Amino acid sequence: MPKVTIDGISIEVPEGTTILNAARMIGGEIVPPAMCYYSKLKTSGGYCRTCIVKVSKGSDKDPRPMPKPVASCRTVVMDGMEVENITSAEVLEARAGVVEFLLINHPLDCPVCDQAGECHLQDLAYEHGKEASRYEFKRREFEKTDIGDKVQLHMTRCILCYRCVKVADQLTDGRVHGVINRGDVAEISTYIQNAIDNDFSGNVIDVCPVGALTDKTFRFKSRVWYTKPVDAHRDCPHCTGKVRLWYKGDDVARVTARKDKYGEVEEWICNECRFDKKKTSDWVIEGPTHVDRHSVISANHYESIRALKASIERQKKSLPHGTKVGLGQGALDPNNPN
């Protein structure tokens, strides 16, 4: 099995593993961000360049470094390869440049965007971006395309990651949407105003990393951080029926697939579960979802608030009587023992 070293951590991985997946096997901060790669979708990746890394040693056989940053989601590990991600200032600078490019044509309308709080571009810009753009020219604008009553397309927010196109290709029969045109007029669209409507088409909402494809049945109903995610299942004839319910008060405001720590869907769900089962009585509730991503959803999450209260109580007990207790770093982390 080839051995690769990423940011000083070595791991042996099966033949054919990409650098990104090797990093995911190690886990933690060294995992490069990925805006277009999606492990559940074949041939995804290679479009956005957010996952770039520096290969400082090609392999034991040919130790020459690769001449420029490479897309880790598309570069296969070679035996003896050495890779730098967060340990390379050059990579971080290049990634900031990629983010700046992605934001050139992305409107900064987070305050009114339904995806705010679970938008990967928002997180990426926060973690890797610069505070200002140098772009001064006119941005892309699009005519609105109606793609049906369940999914809202807001093309100005699209970063052309192709994930929704892969979903349409690989999950649904009779694909009716894709990328049309080229260059700065390339857009996601249905050819001649077709409605996107088949059993699994709603999954395009879950894979879209930004707010370009959103759920019309949830639009403007709530900010996501005011909702409570709960895992639930039902006996569904079309899919596994394993979903996440997003409660606002006692109402199910939205149904989505469950996502893993990289924001990827664990199991695809059908449109019946997603759009038509919005009553608690439709579901068997399993319990609150554990939100461990850096998203703002976790900041208002009741699990974390319990941990926060427990943490404050622990701090209070360990301090001299009368000392005031503030919120220390890590207080919101339920795994934080301090």
Question: Which region among 105-113, 152-160, 283-291, 314-322 touches ligand SF4 (by CB under 6 A)?
Answer: 152-160
Question: Which region among 71-79, 85-93, 202-210, 292-300 touches ligand SF4 (by CB under 6 A)?
Answer: 202-210
Contact 247, 193 (CB under 8 A): no
- Helix (H) or strand (E) holding 219, with range, is none
Instruction: State which of residues 161, 196, 224, 273 lies at the interface with ligand SF4 (CB under 6 A).
Output: 161
The sign of the torsion formed by the CA atoms of 32, 33, 39, 45 equals: negative
**Residue 158 binds which one of ligand SF4, ligand FES, none, with CB within 5 to 8 A depending on kind?**
ligand SF4
73 binds ligand FES (CB under 6 A): yes
- Paired strand residues for 82: 5, 57
Instruction: State which of residues 47, 225, 226, 262 lies at the interface with ligand FES (CB under 6 A).
Output: 47
Interactions with ligand SF4, residue window 2-21 (CB under 6 A): none
How far is it, in rounded angstroms, from Cα 83 to Cα 92? Answer: 13
Question: Which region among 60-68, 157-165, 255-263, 330-338 touches ligand SF4 (by CB under 6 A)?
Answer: 157-165
How far is it, in rounded angstroms, from Cα 21 to Cα 71? Answer: 12
Q: Smallest distance, Å, CB 291 to ligand SF4?
A: 22
58 binds ligand FES (CB under 6 A): no
- Which residues fall within 8 angstroms of residue 191, CB to CB, at 6 or more apart? 176, 177, 178, 180
How far is it, in rounded angstroms, from Cα 233 to Cα 327? Answer: 36
Q: Which is nearer to ligand FES, 46 or 148 (CB)?
A: 46
Please report, for residues 126, 130, 131, 173, 270, the alpha-carbon distance to residue 201 in angstroms, rounded to integers and kept in the order given.
30, 35, 36, 9, 8
Q: Smallest distance, Å, CB 164 to ligand SF4?
A: 3
Residues that bind ligand FES (CB under 6 A): 34-37, 45-51, 71, 73
Residues that bind ligand SF4 (CB under 6 A): 158-164, 188, 207-210, 212-213
